[in-house]
Structure 1
Amino acid sequence: MSSPADAPDDDLAVPSEPALPARCEVLVVGAGPAGSACAAHLARAGHEVWLVDQHDFPRDKVCGDGLIPDAHQALQRLGVLDEVMRHAHAVSHVRCVAPRGGHVDVPGTLAVLPRRRLDALLCRHARRSGARVLTPARFESLIEQDGQVVGARLVHGGQTREVHTRWVVMATGAHVPALARTGLCDRRTPSGVALRAYVHHPGLAESHRTMDVVWHRALRPGYGWIFPCGGDVYNIGVGAFFRRGDTRERDRAADANLREVFDAFTRLYEPARALMDGGTMQGELRGAPLRCTLSGARSGRPGLLATGEMLGSTYDFTGEGIGKALETGLMAADTLLGAGTDDHATLADYERRLDTLRPKFALYERANRVNAHPWLADLVIWRARRSPRLLQRMSGVLNETSNPGHLISARGLLRLLTG
Structure 2
Amino acid sequence: MTEQEARPASAKPPVLEALPDRCEVLIVGAGPAGSACARVLAQAGVDVLLIDQQPQGRDKICGDGLIPDAHQALQRLGLLEPVMRLAQQVSHVGCIGPRGGRIDVPGTLAVLPRRQLDQLLSQAAREAGAQFIAPARFEKPLEDEQGRVVGALLKVGSGATTALVEVQSQWLILATGAVPKALSAAGMCERHTPSGIALRGYVRAPSMVGRIKAMDVVWSQAVRPGYGWIFPAPDNCFNIGVGVTDSHSAVGGKGAKKELNLRAIFDAFVASYEPAALLMREGELVGELKGAPLRCTLEGARWSRPGLMVTGEAAGSTYSFTGEGIGKAMETGMLAADALLAGRQQGWGEGQVREAFEQSLRALKPKFDLYQRANRVNAFPWLADLLIWRAQRSPRLLQRMSGVLNETSNPGNLVSLKGFSRLFLE
Please classify the TM superposition score into its range, dividing by the shorter chain length. Answer: over 0.9
Matches within 5 A, 1:193-208: 193-208=197-212
Contact 1:102/1:381 (CA < 8 Å) preserved in 2?
A: yes
Is 1:310 equivalent to 2:314 in the alignment?
Answer: yes
**Change in CA separation of 1:160 and 1:243 when aligned onto 2, cut-off 3 Å:** closer
Matches within 5 A, 1:130-169: 130-145=129-144, 146-157=146-157, 158-169=162-173
**Change in CA separation of 1:337 and 1:383 when aligned onto 2, cut-off 3 Å:** same
Cα separation, 2, equivalents of 1:377 and 1:251? 28
**Counterpart in 2 of 1:111?**
110
- The 3-state SS of whatever aligns with 1:31 is coil
* Correspondence for 2:225 among 221, 239, 262: 221
Cα separation, 2, equivalents of 1:27 and 1:124? 17
* One-letter amino acid matched to 2:54: H
Contact 2:249/2:257 (CA < 8 Å) preserved in 1?
A: no
- How far apart are residue 417 of structure 1 and its match? 3.9
- How far apart are residue 341 of structure 1 and its match? 5.6
Deviations 1:199-222 (A, max 9, x none): 001101121111000001121221
Matches within 5 A, 1:233-312: 233-242=237-246, 254-312=258-316
Contact 2:35/2:121 (CA < 8 Å) preserved in 1?
A: yes
- How far apart are residue 230 of structure 1 and its match? 2.1
Matches within 5 A, 1:15-414: 18-145=17-144, 146-157=146-157, 158-242=162-246, 254-339=258-343, 340=347, 342-414=349-421
Deviations 1:242-269 (A, max 9, x none): 189776xx98964311000000000000
Contact 1:215/1:374 (CA < 8 Å) preserved in 2?
A: yes
**Change in CA separation of 1:68 and 1:253 when aligned onto 2, cut-off 3 Å:** farther
**Change in CA separation of 1:165 and 1:374 when aligned onto 2, cut-off 3 Å:** same
**Change in CA separation of 1:418 and 1:110 when aligned onto 2, cut-off 3 Å:** same
- The 3-state SS of whatever aligns with 2:155 is strand
- The RMSD of aligned alpha carbons is 1.8
- The 3-state SS of whatever aligns with 1:357 is helix
- The 3-state SS of whatever aligns with 2:18 is coil
- The 3-state SS of whatever aligns with 1:338 is helix
Cα separation, 2, equivalents of 1:107 and 1:260? 31
Deviations 1:147-189 (A, max 9, x none): 1000001111200000001000000000111111111111111
Cα separation, 2, equivalents of 1:211 and 1:252? 32
Cα separation, 1, equivalents of 2:316 and 2:249? 15
Contact 1:28/1:39 (CA < 8 Å) preserved in 2?
A: yes
Q: TM-score, normalised by structure 2?
A: 0.92
Cα separation, 2, equivalents of 1:164 and 1:262? 45
Contact 1:191/1:244 (CA < 8 Å) preserved in 2?
A: yes
Contact 2:196/2:248 (CA < 8 Å) preserved in 1?
A: no
**Counterpart in 2 of 1:6?**
none
Cα separation, 2, equivalents of 1:377 and 1:351? 35
Cα separation, 2, equivalents of 1:279 and 1:135? 35
- The 3-state SS of whatever aligns with 1:150 is strand
Q: TM-score, normalised by structure 1?
A: 0.93
Q: What fraction of aligned residue pairs are identical, expressed as a percent?
A: 61
**Counterpart in 2 of 1:12?**
none
Cα separation, 2, equivalents of 1:132 and 1:74? 22
* One-letter amino acid matched to 1:230: P
Cα separation, 2, equivalents of 1:245 and 1:236? 26
